[in-house]
A = this chain, B = another copy of it.
């Protein structure tokens, strides 16, 4: 440490929001270069390389082949798959001196697809799993929490190529297991949750979330083990009800009831029921939004949900990706005079709207999607498309229909898990990895086919698998830290042992140096605090801040033939007699720990 390029800081960095960020900066592991952009100092770089090594070993163990793509890439392949547009402001774009368009790649599906297309042509070449550990870029709107959400970051991205769906299933399962091994080796608890694919496309995906209060993702879980990203929760659909014997729909005056709350109050007063009070869940709320499609087209959309639930924009967007959801504004209302604001009912929407003169759906008719709970035979109070009027006993499947269903209503704690494993509860997590069964979207867009066994051209099916390497490092730091500082697991620590020469005598320094050499010779990485004029107290504080898993204190008690081995995590101190067995004792602590 007399020569190490390191300065520990007493004060927290002003911009630090979370523990890992605060401690990594204070302990001299990283340094901010710009918002969301960090420099790795020597200790930080060692941890980063260790995390990378764990990831590489597990990728290699499942037959992964490492390659390395550029970060700076031309627009064309991303244009071909639509992602140049879909990513919106989320990526960095630039022009070269010839005014050609480039981007700093957020992921590399296109490039891997084109590379395989370039090199391979037969089913015999597959399956293939290729991966890279590479610097990636996203122009986050709000870079935050240090390495947890950066704009330049290290990611492992892997891509599988198979000739058929069964092959993709195998590749996907193999990556899933490799991911679980990676996080286990990093000592990082993860929950695998069903997720939606977003801009990535594809049929199926799962996220590996690390449960942590500083996480940005909300997910839900059930006592029976179900776990999903909120966007991916599917609604438990109630059974259809018989239509026989239901009363006819009737329109009623309901003055001054443009909100669900005012409507329920009015119903309770004007139309009291014997069996139970009116509830928001008895009403059907029709929410209007505008979909912005990737080609720029704006499409009005009505979504009908039970009145006790809001539309969750993230869930709606996930259902309708790649379109994004925008507000339905005053000018949109002006363009649709059939909409009675606050009293909108199915009658003017989708298949229920009056047909045009040609007997076909009229041109300006708004598409109408329903919450899956609105099954045939359910009865609703909803707008009658006239100010101050609602319709009661409107029966789904008898009195109105829709263009389809959509997962858009908010998920609430207590909702049943889709697999019947009990009520859902909400939790927060940080996305550590994401695996996608992409299917053929990229291969189709870029023309990746191979000859199958029968000499027929078939489109390759793909998976894509990412781990945020620098983010995983921060999560490990966050999970391990205590009041005093960082606490690294042996697997990724910059050094497994921190030998602190905590005394004044030359013998202390000489012994500390000798012990360090012996430990290095035994294959350990050792950090030696040999600073001559720093007090033992400051050295101990620094050793706690820096967080090596084991600290050997060589101090006053050396005269009695004793050094102290401290387990950084538990704080447990073991006296070690100085002599031939000291190195062995440290070694076995490290290897056992």
In contact, B70 and A34 (Cβ under 8 angstroms): yes
Q: Say yes or no: is A507 at the interface (Cβ < 8 Å to chain B).
A: no
Residues from 107 to 144 in A contacting B, C-beta threshold 8 Å? 111, 115, 118-120, 128, 130, 135, 137, 139, 141
Judged by a CB distance under 8 angstroms, whether A65 is at the interface is: yes
* Interchain CB contact under 8 A, A67 and B39: yes
**In the complex, how many residues of chain A place their beta carbon closer than 8 angstroms to a beta carbon of chain B?**
49
User: Which residue among A7, A72, A141 has the maximum number of chain B CB atoms within 10 Å of its CB?
Assistant: A72
Name the contact of A31 in the complex, choosing from B118, B139, B141 (C-beta under 8 A): B118
A73 adjacent to chain B (CB < 8 Å): yes
With a CB–CB cut-off of 8 A, which chain B residues contact A28? 119
In the complex, the chain B residue whose C-beta lies closest to that of A94 is B94
How distant is A538 from chain B, measured CB to nearest CB, in Å? 16
Q: Does A61 contact B (CB under 8 A)?
A: no
CA distance A367 to B5 in the complex (A): 48
Stretch in A40-48, A288-296, A405-413, A420-428 touching the partner: A40-48
A166 sits at the interface (CB 8 A): no
With an 8 A cutoff between CB atoms, is A255 at the interface? no
Q: How far is the CB of A328 from chain B (nearest CB, A)?
A: 25
Our pick among B72, B97, B141 for the contact of A34 (Cβ within 8 Å) is: B72
> Among B5, B67, B68, B141, which residue has its beta carbon within 8 angstroms of that of A130?
B5
Within 8 A of B (CB), among A68-123: 68-74, 89, 92-94, 96-97, 102, 104, 111, 115, 118-120
For residue A37, CB closer than 8 A to chain B, the reply is yes
A34-B73 in contact (CB<8A):
yes
Q: Are A66 and B42 touching (Cβ within 8 A)?
A: yes
Check: A33 CB closer than 8 A to any chain B CB: yes
- Residues of B close to A139: CB separation below 8 A: 96-97
Q: Closest residue of chain B to A533, judged by CB?
A: B124
Q: Known contacts being A45-B66, A118-B31, is A151 close to B72, with CB within 8 Å?
A: yes
Q: Is A63 an interface residue (CB 8 A)?
A: yes
Chain B residues whose C-beta falls within 8 Å of the C-beta of A6 in the assembled complex: 119
| Shortest distance between the CB of A416 and any CB in chain B (Å) | 40
Q: Does A570 contact B (CB under 8 A)?
A: no
Within 8 A of B (CB), among A571-593: none
A179 to chain B, nearest CB (A): 21
Residues of A133-180 at the interface with B, using a CB-CB cut-off of 8 Å, are 135, 137, 139, 141, 151-152
Q: In whole angstroms, what is the CA distance A94 to B71 when docked?
A: 14
Cα-based distance from A38 to B72 in the complex (angstroms): 10
A525 to nearest B CB, angstroms? 13
Between A and B, 26 residue pairs with Cβ closer than 8 Å are: A6-B119, A31-B115, A31-B119, A33-B69, A33-B70, A33-B111, A34-B74, A34-B102, A37-B70, A37-B72, A39-B67, A39-B69, A39-B115, A40-B67, A41-B67, A45-B66, A70-B152, A71-B71, A71-B152, A72-B152, A89-B97, A92-B94, A94-B94, A96-B139, A96-B151, A97-B139
